[in-house]
Amino acid sequence: MPVLDLRTDFSRFRAANPRRINLAAHSHHDWPDVTFEAQMRCWEDAARLAGDKWGFVLGELMPSLQRGIAAILNLPDPSTIAIATNTHEFLRRILSCFPASRTVRILSTDAEFHTFRRQVARLEEDGMATCTYVAAEPAATFSARFQEAADKGGYDLVFVSQVFFTSSATSGPVEDLAAAVPDSETFVVIDGYHGFMARPTDLSKVAARVFYMAGGYKYAMAGEGVCFLHCPPGYGPRPRDTGWFAEFGALAAAPGKTVGYPTSGSRFLGATFDPVGIYRLCAVFSWMAAKRLGIEDVHAHARALMVHFLMRLDRLSFKDLTRAGLVTPFGNGAAHGNFLSFRTPHAGAIEAALAAADVHADHRGDRMRFGFGVATTLEDVDVAVERMAEVLARS
């Protein structure tokens, strides 16, 4: 399998902390050097254009970003993509599409990220939502079990991760999930945060049916403040949670008797935001194009590093980090995210010990997670395992 060496393209991040080995690439990836230059351009444009910068941001930069996202996801129409500073904004707007007069009926899983978990749990406390939770594990049977639950119908919203943050397991083909939902009015939302720019994703067959949201913080290597939502036409035409950017092109017009919305993804826009994340993500897209680096290459690189990492661990026989302890088995071409998740009661202690050795990974409960991004090299993995052998042998 191909292995990349892009150290020169990440020189600023690597030089800022030369000893750090970032195996937390399921969370905060290193940023390529082009994002530094893009951040400086954002400041310079603000100085040059002042308030006129929004004409450039919304008229040129955002459409470029939409085209880049649409190309990665194979979406037919870039205008279906809305931009916000975080995915929680989008979750709120999606929930605000449903009638306020009754409880929102939701189907989801017990392994969704805190953005969804916390918000829905709070709505359930006040009787504003009721959620049916399908167990994400065992992963081998999840897709069939979730589709069976969806097929029963009666839901306003079906919400599921493309790749589960707790395990790196996938939820199955999006087309199968969409086909399993019997009511055409039900919103189907895919949380793609661990799938976007990590796994090849083709939404062309379901672009008219499913929402898909993700952002730049993780695998897109662009940092905080830039997230997106693909909005299938006709779903949620008038979210109650709405900001003035949703009618940006009509601000000079006299207000009507009702609040107007565009039919594009812009109907899910909010209000004023810091555009610097858009600059960074556009720079990442341009850099990848210049490198002829596709998502297939990114995923193949991650898989190659995971193979190497597991082979090195096999020789060390850490009782808490064995193949048998993987939450999601790895190998034989099985669908998998770009990180490994081990089940161990000592996950917190392992993370702390590795952090002291400048090997950055993390844990969630009893899950110890190691991520592998394009900035990570085989040499980085070897150095990380050598340090692990030292510190974990003492713990």
Same domain, 239 and 336: no
360 inside domain: yes
Give the pLDDT score at 249. Answer: 56
164 inside domain: yes
Hey, how many other C-beta atoms are within 10 angstroms of the C-beta on 51? 7
339 inside domain: yes
* H or E element, residue 90: helix 87-95
Give the whole-angstrom CA distance, residue 236 versus residue 223. Answer: 28
Residue type, 139: A
Domain range for residue 20?
A: 7-33+294-394
Same domain, 84 and 25: no
274 inside domain: yes
Same domain, 29 and 124: no
- Domain final residue pick, 288, 306, 335: 288
Contacts of 389 (CB under 8 A, 6+ apart): 316
- Domain final residue pick, 261, 288, 315: 288
Output the CA angle 214-239-162, nearest 5 degrees. 25
- Domain final residue pick, 241, 266, 288: 288
Q: Sign of the CA dihedral 106, 108, 110, 111?
A: negative
Same domain, 73 and 59: yes
CATH number of 346's domain: 3.90.1150.10
Same domain, 72 and 41: yes
Contacts of 68 (CB under 8 A, 6+ apart): 281, 282, 285
Same domain, 300 and 382: yes
309 inside domain: yes
pLDDT in tens, 89-120: 999 999 999 999 999 999 999 999 999 999 99
Same domain, 25 and 157: no
Residues of the chain with pLDDT under 50: 252
319 inside domain: yes
Domain count, the chain: 2
Same domain, 372 and 344: yes
Give the whole-angstrom CA distance, residue 228 versus residue 213. Answer: 6
Phi, psi for residue 284 in degrees, rounded to 5: -60, -45
- C-beta of residue 139 within 8 angstroms of C-beta of residue 114: no
Q: Sign of the CA dihedral 387, 388, 393, 395?
A: positive
221 inside domain: yes
Same domain, 129 and 258: yes
Residue type, 144: A
pLDDT in tens, 158-169: 999 999 999 999
Residue 256, burial from CB neighbour count under 10 angstroms (0-12, 13-18, 19+): exposed
Residue 372, burial from CB neighbour count under 10 angstroms (0-12, 13-18, 19+): buried
Same domain, 213 and 337: no
Give the whole-angstrom CA distance, residue 307 versus residue 276. Answer: 36
> Tokens 């850099």 map to which residue?
287
* Runs of H (alpha helix) within 292-345: 295-316
- C-beta of residue 49 within 8 angstroms of C-beta of residue 155: no
Same domain, 162 and 255: yes
CATH number of 98's domain: 3.40.640.10
Q: What is the CA radius of gyration of the chain?
A: 22
Same domain, 232 and 93: yes
2 inside domain: no
